[in-house]
Chain A
Amino acid sequence: MSLLSIDQLRVRHRGVTVVDGVSFSIEAGESLALVGESGSGKSQTALAMLGLLPATATIEGSVRLRGEELLGAPRATLDGVRGRRIAMVFQDPMSSLNPCLTIGLQMAEVLEQHRGMRRADALREAQAMLDAVRINEPRRRLGQYPHELSGGMRQRVLIATALLARPELLIADEPTTALDATVQAEVLALLDELRQALGLSLLLITHDLGVVSGHCERMLVMYAGRLVEAGPTRAVLAAPRHPYSAALLASRPSLHGPKPHRLPAIAGQPPDPSRRPPGCAFAPRCAAVQPSCRVQVPILQTDGLRAWACPVVAAGNQGETGVEDRNGA
């Protein structure tokens, strides 16, 4: 049984569909990337999984943790899952910590809640965890407030907090976007290391393909609320089958070769979720578009290992996407 299986997840805010029939699963110990532009629905998917969307959102489908349904589960059940079996690290380390409470309290409360520990013991464990994420002077940090820490340090604190209760799955929503490049690399390396040491699964939400390639075994690509491609990271990056994945890959700046006059970009804009075109949402921007693409939403076809939602591309002849694969892989 998969650790977590998401089936036909659909999220609507006031009639606007932002996640549309997303299905995937995460295996124990696996690292999975969820890739997409901002607004593609990747964060909404994660929040819906944990019941963290506002009450005004309509959520359909199924999210099962080792078979147990989480969607619509009572708060008590969710509180037993959140932070304890599935932990989440958010994008912005500046605003994800309560400015009025000490780091120590914000860490210790997780253990008090999920392990029934007393404050003193919880603080001792928190200190050890701060040490494990390589924060200097961990003991002093416990008494400090978020504003007294740097951005990178705060993100480490959030990661340490997430890992305190030894969760089975860590969801990291753009964990490094708010950090500068060197700190970003450090935090990602730390995540890798901890994942292997603790044997936990990772769902990494990102728009950065560079982050995906080095840190995740499998990847999912989302566009306009739908899953458009899934597969092993290496295979997808080497030969994307959905034109959107290919275009995304082609628009990565490269360190090699002549410096382009302008950075390559996908022509057009992603659709406004309230005015998504009928048929394939990527059709208006797609170089390989066919008349049928504008009518019918492509189904996700699979060859067992990979899946892609494009009828134009058949398995094995991805060269026909009409999008130049600059990496030439």
Chain B
Amino acid sequence: MLSRAATRLLTAVPTLFVLVGLSFFLMHAAPGGPFDSERSLAPEVEARLNAQFHLDEPAWRQFGRYLGGLLHGDLGPSLQYEGRSVAGLIGDGAPVSAALGAVALLLALTGGVALGAIAALRRDSALDRGLMLLALLGLSLPSYVVAPLLILVFALALDWLPAGGWDGPASVLLPAVALALPQLAAIARLTRGALGEVLAAPWIRAARAKGLPERLIVFRHALRPALLPVLSWLGPAAAGLMTGSVVVEQVFGIPGIGRYFVQGALNRDYTLVLGVVLFYGALVVTFNFLVDLAYGLLDPRTRPT
């Protein structure tokens, strides 16, 4: 088990290397540079800036330089935020995004599994149809619609929760709901489908033939195998939630790292983009690894013997 886990973690290194390499060269292939703007700089100034950040060197040398920095845990300086290091920017924003994401993840998981299970147990009833319609709505409504709506209702009209900012537990709730909603809807649909399938399995009929009450049939016999597809979904979904969302963080004025993904790319802030991509990649790899471990707990067939 331990050696399998170690092997899994080791394969993460080439994965991340490819990720960084692709991002690096794609980024440099895109037209424009970090110091382009409407107001053009004097050629000497731009040349000096380029030299300072080694942007005048050939791309492969810059890449080598970047990798060298990575080995020392150095993500380089931001090209856009003067005097800030990429590691510092991520270090400031990541805990905020992660906290928000964790709350959203909890909401999505508990709510999604509960609603999906209810729908599966009342399959084809009005309740099932209603829930699935809501889930479809949750999936299709973009967060720039949901987030302002939430503010409108719960902050402005009802005045129950703050409309924005990052200040205490109350301020987490609305953005977490906005962030969680599509994931919750997806998990509800996944759970419904999987649980419906498992409930039709021969071993469920066999369990009924043993005279077990429905409570045990559902919670002991059906739910565990039904959660496997949800678990697979959870790896990338968790990484996505933890790295925040540009829209939600923007609407609620939350100092997370979601905005760096877009701003970094628009500004050709090479180091910042690479930094957040690497951070996101590492999270995806980590969560997929955790999912693999959890899979073994839920499904004994996947445990190594």
Q: Decide whether A and B are members of one complex.
A: yes
Q: Name, among B203, B225, B298, B301, the residue most crowded by chain A CB atoms within 10 Å (CB to CB).
A: B203
- A75: chain B residues at CB < 8 Å are 213-214
Complex: chain A residue closest to B212, CB-CB? A113
Contact with A along B200-217 (1 / 0, CB 8 A): 011101111111111010
- Residues A83 and B205 in contact in the complex (CB < 8 Å), given A98-B221, A99-B300, A100-B298: no
* A67 proximal to B (CB < 8 A): no
* A95 proximal to B (CB < 8 A): yes
Q: Are A88 and B300 in contact (CB under 8 A)?
A: no
In the complex, A158→B206 CA distance in Å?
9
Contact with B along A148-188 (1 / 0, CB 8 A): 00000000001001000100000000000000000000000
* B220 proximal to A (CB < 8 A): yes
* B224 proximal to A (CB < 8 A): yes
* B36 proximal to A (CB < 8 A): no
- A80: chain B residues at CB < 8 Å are 211
Q: Are B211 and A82 in contact (CB under 8 A)?
A: yes
* A125 proximal to B (CB < 8 A): no
Q: Are B299 and A100 in contact (CB under 8 A)?
A: yes
* A37 proximal to B (CB < 8 A): no
From A96, A101, A145, B220 is in contact (CB under 8 Å) with A101
Q: Are A145 and B211 in contact (CB under 8 A)?
A: no
- B211: chain A residues at CB < 8 Å are 78-84, 110, 113-114, 165
Q: Are B224 and A100 in contact (CB under 8 A)?
A: yes
Contact with A along B292-305 (1 / 0, CB 8 A): 00000011110000
Q: Name, among B210, B220, B225, the residue most crowded by chain A CB atoms within 10 Å (CB to CB).
A: B210
* A63 proximal to B (CB < 8 A): no
Q: Are B209 and A82 in contact (CB under 8 A)?
A: yes
In the complex, A109→B208 CA distance in Å?
12
In the complex, A110→B212 CA distance in Å?
7
Q: Are B210 and A95 in contact (CB under 8 A)?
A: no
In the complex, A95→B216 CA distance in Å?
18
Q: Are B202 and A95 in contact (CB under 8 A)?
A: yes
From B213, B221, B298, A79 is in contact (CB under 8 Å) with B213
In the complex, A113→B208 CA distance in Å?
12
From A87, A97, A99, A101, B209 is in contact (CB under 8 Å) with A87
- B207: chain A residues at CB < 8 Å are 98
- A161: chain B residues at CB < 8 Å are 210
Q: Are A99 and B210 in contact (CB under 8 A)?
A: no
Q: Are A109 and B220 in contact (CB under 8 A)?
A: yes
Contact with A along B224-245 (1 / 0, CB 8 A): 1100000000000000000000
- A90: chain B residues at CB < 8 Å are 202, 205-206, 209
* A293 proximal to B (CB < 8 A): no
Nearest Cβ on chain B to A94's Cβ, whole angstroms: 9
From B203, B214, B216, B224, A96 is in contact (CB under 8 Å) with B203
Nearest Cβ on chain A to B203's Cβ, whole angstroms: 5
Complex: chain B residue closest to A107, CB-CB? B210
* A20 proximal to B (CB < 8 A): no
Nearest Cβ on chain B to A269's Cβ, whole angstroms: 26
Contact with A along B261-300 (1 / 0, CB 8 A): 0000000000000000000000000000000000000111
From B203, B208, B212, A95 is in contact (CB under 8 Å) with B203
Name A49-93 residues within 8 Å CB distance of B: 50, 52, 75, 78-84, 87-88, 90, 92
- A113: chain B residues at CB < 8 Å are 210-213, 216
In the complex, A154→B294 CA distance in Å?
26
Nearest Cβ on chain A to B301's Cβ, whole angstroms: 5
Q: Are B301 and A147 in contact (CB under 8 A)?
A: yes
Nearest Cβ on chain A to B138's Cβ, whole angstroms: 29
Q: Are A145 and B301 in contact (CB under 8 A)?
A: yes
Nearest Cβ on chain A to B29's Cβ, whole angstroms: 48
In the complex, A12→B301 CA distance in Å?
38
Q: Are A109 and B206 in contact (CB under 8 A)?
A: no
In the complex, A90→B208 CA distance in Å?
12
- Residues A95 and B213 in contact in the complex (CB < 8 Å), given A100-B299, A109-B220, A145-B300: no
Nearest Cβ on chain B to A278's Cβ, whole angstroms: 34
Q: Are A79 and B299 in contact (CB under 8 A)?
A: no
Query: In the complex, given contacts A82-B211, A99-B300, A110-B211, what are 8 additional A-B residue pairs having Cβ atoms less than 8 angstroms apart?
Result: A79-B211, A82-B209, A83-B212, A84-B211, A90-B206, A98-B207, A109-B210, A109-B220
**What are 17 residue pairs bridging A and B, where the CB atoms are less than 8 Å apart in the complex?**
A47-B205, A52-B208, A79-B212, A82-B208, A82-B209, A82-B211, A83-B211, A95-B201, A96-B203, A96-B206, A99-B225, A100-B224, A100-B299, A109-B212, A113-B216, A145-B300, A158-B206
10 closest A-B pairs by beta carbon, nearest first, are A83-B211, A83-B210, A82-B211, A95-B202, A96-B206, A145-B300, A88-B209, A79-B211, A98-B203, A100-B224
Question: Using a CB–CB distance below 8 Å, which chain B residues touch chain A?
Answer: 201-203, 205-214, 216, 220-221, 224-225, 298-301
